[in-house]
Structure 1
Amino acid sequence: MEWWRCLFVGMVMLMAAGSGEAQLSPTFYQWTCPNVESMVREAVQKKLSQTFATVPATLRLFFHDCFIEGCDASIMIASPRHDAEKDAPDNLSLAGDGFDTVIKAKEAVEEQCPGVVSCADILAIAARDVVVLSGGPSFTVELGRRDGRISEAGRVSGKLPGPDFNLELLAWIFGKNNLTLFDMIALSGAHTLGFSHCSRFAKRLYSFTPSSPVDPSLDPKYARQLMLACPENVDPNIAVGMDPFTPNTFDNIYFKNLVNGRGLFTSDEVLFTQLLSRPAVYNFAVNQESFFTAFASAMVRLGRVGVKIGDEGEIRRDCTAFN
């Protein structure tokens, strides 16, 4: 191998060794808190027994956290001035059950392993557990993240995908986080769970374009169902299931819905209407195992986004406050 190739490979290896991704390990707590995953699982199961909202709320919380400042639990910070990350307009719809799940799990872990496990790692474990407990795939969670020291509402805008994004915008915002188009399609499958407020998709029903008030990519029967559930000027607290058929089960019905024009958001249905992403949607719609495999891999990669290690962060005693 030419000397310059050797130098290039060596530089890449050094860069990787210095990155957070290279430092994460499934066995990070094997000596300091070996039972951390079982403790988090128990807390998640207890919370789930109280409300199913635990599942979509925790999963969405993990996604929002990672896309803003990296997977560092900065989303958890509560500010008395209401100017933290969670207070940004894009995060106001995050359900309290997700925050409560992480707080309860942290309390349980602190009793056994005080000052050892980060809130960021607890959120990552809990996100995996809610997927498994709702019927989805299991996967190994890499650990070793530190909690971030920055949480500002003003730093959120433009970092999260919107419900009206086209494929190009979706690919761009996921690409900024080292996630591929295929990862994005797989992670979108999380919309097989949970609910959305009517305001997030009302434009598709009543004012899509001047000549076509209803989005023509919507199945007409599905559009009528949505109109019944979400009439114009509906109570802003009203919400509908992202998946009208199995909203409490992690499965591949979301992709079957896209094939049939039943994607709730524009950013959902565009995955099928665009030729570049359509083959993956078809594949996941007919092969649930393929979707599960892709989702598990994408979740691992999502968990590597912007992680802090060593003195780049801290181990919070309380997930809602900096030390």
Structure 2
Amino acid sequence: MAATAVRCLLMAAAVLAPLFAGSEGAFLSSKFYDRRCPSLQTIVRSAMAQAVAAEPRMGASILRLFFHDCFVNGCDASILLDDTANFTGEKNAGPNANSVRGYDVIDTIKAQVEAACKATVSCADIVALAARDSVNLLGGPTWAVQLGRRDARNASQSAANSNLPSAGSSLAGLIATFGSKGLSARDMTALSGAHTIGQARCATFRDRIYNDTNVDAKFAALRKQTCPQTGGDATLAPIDVSTPTWFDTTYFENLANKQGLFHSDQELYNGGSQDVMVRVYMRNPDIFAADFAKAMGKMGSLMPSADTPTEIRLDCKKIN
């Protein structure tokens, strides 16, 4: 009996350990605000439903915002901070300046949450919930978001420039970057499936359609129509050529057909270690949905270091 009890305690500790993370020993729980702000999830869901109905692309934008926040010093809403005299923030870092958007949507949600629950809910938790709802509203899975994050009181443009993978990354580079965050190659491939929604600027995929050899000729010709070799950097194209506003598995089918928009996308299906997972996901939507939700949970558990100054911001753009 005693041995059984010890084993149970050890198993419980193993389950809970990943949820203890970051500054001030924060404990993440899906029920974190159940008593202090019971209307939180309804507020976020309603606001995201309005935003996505007005512009389906906004769902992809909020998902990207969450990813770009978590990969830089953890999920601490540092990406939302405007520059100050004391630090240069992340908004204008190379990977963010022309591609991350949706700050106004988060500000709108924050204002509604503050009206319901003053100085209670972090901006970081709002972004995590908004990202989950964005995926689900566009046809993707849902999951229980672990909550209890706090907001950083500073930001780092240099960290954003050095921590985020680029559209020209190799498979080895992607695996290393995600691995440095505790995310496996399988997590990375599942999370890359987020590119089933959203649009991208010509400047980010020009080299792919003009210089890569593992690209479908008709697909390259289609993209070249609006992305010339010079000029037109800001012209947008759907990342998923088939269903750009619906969260499904056609992204992986595109890779199998050499129709990945980014060089980094096609690296997942180019005779390498992730070819098998691409085929699994394209044939098994339920496996992809489950893996994506699990990987989002793992990414969402990335926390800032214990010595990072944090707070619950009243305005997501600035410290209190």
Q: Same fold (TM over 0.5)?
A: yes
Summarize the alignment of residues 66-105 of structure 1 with structure 2, pairs less than 5 Å apart.
Answer: 66-79=70-83, 83-96=88-101, 98-105=102-109
Distance 1:232 1:184, change over 3 A: same
Runs of 4+ in 1 over 3 A off after TM superposition: 11-18, 307-312
Contact kept? 2:20, 2:28, Cα under 8 Å:
no
Could you say which residue in structure 2 is the equivalent of 1:43? 47
Summarize the alignment of residues 89-128 of structure 1 with structure 2, pairs less than 5 Å apart.
Answer: 89-96=94-101, 98-128=102-132
Is 1:283 matched with 2:280?
yes
Contact kept? 1:146, 1:307, Cα under 8 Å:
no
Summarize the alignment of residues 208-227 of structure 1 with structure 2, pairs less than 5 Å apart.
Answer: 214-227=211-224
Is 1:156 matched with 2:160?
yes
Is 1:305 matched with 2:302?
yes
> How far does the alpha carbon of each residue in 1:207-239 deviate from its partner, in whole angstroms, 9 at most, with x for none?
xxxxxxx31210111111111121111322211
Distance in 2, Cα, partners of 1:17 & 1:182: 21
Is 1:132 matched with 2:129?
no
Helix, strand or coil: the match of 1:29? coil
Summarize the alignment of residues 47-66 of structure 1 with structure 2, pairs less than 5 Å apart.
Answer: 47-66=51-70
Contact kept? 2:21, 2:301, Cα under 8 Å:
no
Helix, strand or coil: the match of 2:66? helix
Distance in 1, Cα, partners of 2:115 & 2:207: 48
Contact kept? 2:73, 2:305, Cα under 8 Å:
no
Contact kept? 2:78, 2:152, Cα under 8 Å:
yes
Distance 1:222 1:15, change over 3 A: closer
Distance 1:259 1:14, change over 3 A: closer
Contact kept? 1:117, 1:315, Cα under 8 Å:
yes
Distance in 1, Cα, partners of 2:15 & 2:245: 43
Could you say which residue in structure 2 is the equivalent of 1:236? 233
Distance in 1, Cα, partners of 2:196 & 2:128: 19
Could you say which residue in structure 1 is the equivalent of 2:6? none
Contact kept? 2:19, 2:301, Cα under 8 Å:
no
Is 1:171 matched with 2:175?
yes
> How far does the alpha carbon of each residue in 1:9-40 deviate from its partner, in whole angstroms, 9 at most, with x for none?
9x989976853497100000111001110011
Contact kept? 1:148, 1:308, Cα under 8 Å:
no
Could you say which residue in structure 2 is the equivalent of 1:146? 150
Could you say which residue in structure 2 is the equivalent of 1:29? 33
5+ residue gaps, structure 2: 4-9
Helix, strand or coil: the match of 1:240? strand
Could you say which residue in structure 1 is the equivalent of 2:197? 193
Distance in 2, Cα, partners of 1:137 & 1:301: 15
Distance in 2, Cα, partners of 1:110 & 1:54: 22
Distance in 1, Cα, partners of 2:19 & 2:126: 24
Across the two proteins, how many residue pairs are aligned to each other?
Answer: 309
TM-score normalised to the size of structure 2?
0.90
Distance 1:311 1:188, change over 3 A: closer
TM-score normalised to the size of structure 1?
0.89
Match for 2:243: what amino acid? Answer: T
Match for 2:283: what amino acid? Answer: V
Distance in 2, Cα, partners of 1:43 & 1:250: 19
CA positional deviation for 1:49: 2.5
Is 1:264 matched with 2:255?
no
CA positional deviation for 1:48: 1.9
* Range with greater deviation from structure 2 (76-85 or 251-260): 76-85
Contact kept? 1:57, 1:95, Cα under 8 Å:
yes
Contact kept? 2:281, 2:288, Cα under 8 Å:
yes
Distance in 2, Cα, partners of 1:305 & 1:134: 25
